[in-house]
Amino acid sequence: MKNVEITGTGRAVPSMVVTNDDLAKIVDTSDEWISTRTGIKQRFFCDKDECANSLAIEAAGKALKDSGLSPEDIGVCICATVSGDFATPSMACMVQRHLGLRENIPSFDINAACSGFLYGIEVARGLLNGTGEKHALIVGCEQLSKLMDMTDRSTCVLFGDGAGAAVITLSDEKVYASTLGTRGGYEIMAYGAGPKPSKLTMQGQDVFKFATSIIPRCIGELSEKSGLGLDDMDKVICHQANERIIDFVIRRLKADPDKFYKNMDRYGNTSAASVPIALDELVKEGDVKRGDLLMMVGFGGGLTWAGAVIRYAGRSTE
């Protein structure tokens, strides 16, 4: 199998900024509690004229433009989400239609919660190798605000809406590794958006313990598979659930804190969107340049986890 590299990125967030102080007017919480326990200071929620599909289409369009490719070049379209607008048509089908991608390509959604974008990369790599296509468009997109119980302070302060996307391209690149895993359980539960009010629930402490053990395990597996350690990486992007989780991992692995990107202060936890949003920010801010090596780790509902070592080969900072 050939490897893949990242050749374009994009992101989109809705217009409504919701601060911790805004939430303190709705539930018994405070900016102090949310900031110190999670690192989150604000998040974005969709307004009336915004939805998951509109975010996904915007982020995907930006990633495609960034790659310099045309819609006809895309051979696989995958959206990772747990909060799509419809059961069918899928979010990926709407992206295919609105971006004018070819009809003779697979377009479908993946549900692996916060690990979904990284599941998407590995699934797309398999499909590209199997079909002879060269480029895939992968989107991570969530509108979690519509799944949240806004009376439950233990969850409603954590999550946000947003989308991130990347184009990945088959190449002769030697470095690439991935790891995917599952430990089925109900620690994080959400019913789909529908006529009944949805209640997203989470056993926070259990998930915290899971996260702080699974990230080092993923990093270890990726290092073993790629033959490369954290020192060889230019940046590490972990799922942005809680600043304390990332700080714990940095301490445990005695790693360089500057390599671990954090942006949950501005977005909250955007589940499948968190890794590709962080990726796009790093690229657009010039902190990831063409040729850089990235390690990415996702973990969350399912429970699922996923990691990738992948090269950034985009044009943006050429």
Which residues are near ligand UT7 by CB under 6 A? 29, 33-34, 37-38, 114, 153-154, 157, 188, 204-205, 207-208, 211, 241-242, 245, 269, 271, 300
Q: Where are the alpha helices (DSSP H) in 141-273?
A: 153-156, 204-226, 243-253, 264-267
Helix (H) or strand (E) holding 61: helix 52-67
Least distance to ligand UT7 from the beta carbon of 232, Å? Answer: 26
Least distance to ligand UT7 from the beta carbon of 63, Å? Answer: 23
Helix axes 52-67, 274-284, angle to 10 degrees: 40
Least distance to ligand UT7 from the beta carbon of 77, Å? Answer: 24
**Cβ(91)–Cβ(99) below 8 Å:** no
Q: Which residues pair with 177 in a beta bridge?
A: 309
Question: What sign does the CA torsion over 12, 14, 17, 20 have?
Answer: negative
Q: In this complex, which beta carbon is closest to ligand UT7, that of residue 46 or of residue 241?
A: 241
**Cβ(237)–Cβ(279) below 8 Å:** yes
Q: In this complex, which beta carbon is closest to ligand UT7, that of residue 94 or of residue 112?
A: 112
Q: In this complex, which beta carbon is closest to ligand UT7, that of residue 131 or of residue 213?
A: 213
Please tell me which residue in 46, 93, 114, 238 is annotated as part of the active site: 114
Instruction: Round to whole Å and give the CA distance between 128 and 132.
Output: 6
Q: In this complex, which beta carbon is closest to ligand UT7, that of residue 31 or of residue 73?
A: 31
Single out the residue of 155, 188, 194, 168 nearest to residue 279, CA to CA: 168
- The alpha carbons of the chain give a radius of gyration, in whole angstroms, of 18
Q: In this complex, which beta carbon is closest to ligand UT7, that of residue 39 or of residue 314?
A: 39
Q: In this complex, which beta carbon is closest to ligand UT7, that of residue 144 or of residue 313?
A: 144
Q: Where are the extended beta strands (E) located within the chain?
A: 3-12, 16-19, 42-45, 74-80, 107-110, 135-143, 161-171, 177-182, 188-189, 201-202, 235-238, 293-300, 304-311
Q: In this complex, which beta carbon is closest to ligand UT7, that of residue 61 or of residue 307?
A: 307
Backbone angles phi, psi at 178, to 5 degrees: -145, 155
Instruction: Round to whole Å and give the CA distance between 235 and 267.
Output: 19
Least distance to ligand UT7 from the beta carbon of 29, Å? Answer: 3
Least distance to ligand UT7 from the beta carbon of 209, Å? Answer: 9
Least distance to ligand UT7 from the beta carbon of 192, Å? Answer: 17
Known catalytic residue at 114:
yes
Least distance to ligand UT7 from the beta carbon of 26, Å? Answer: 11
Instruction: Round to whole Å and give the CA distance between 297 and 220.
Output: 11
Report which residue's Cβ sits closest to ligand UT7: 204
Instruction: Round to whole Å and give the CA distance between 187 and 189.
Output: 7
Which are the catalytic amino acids? Answer: 114, 239, 269
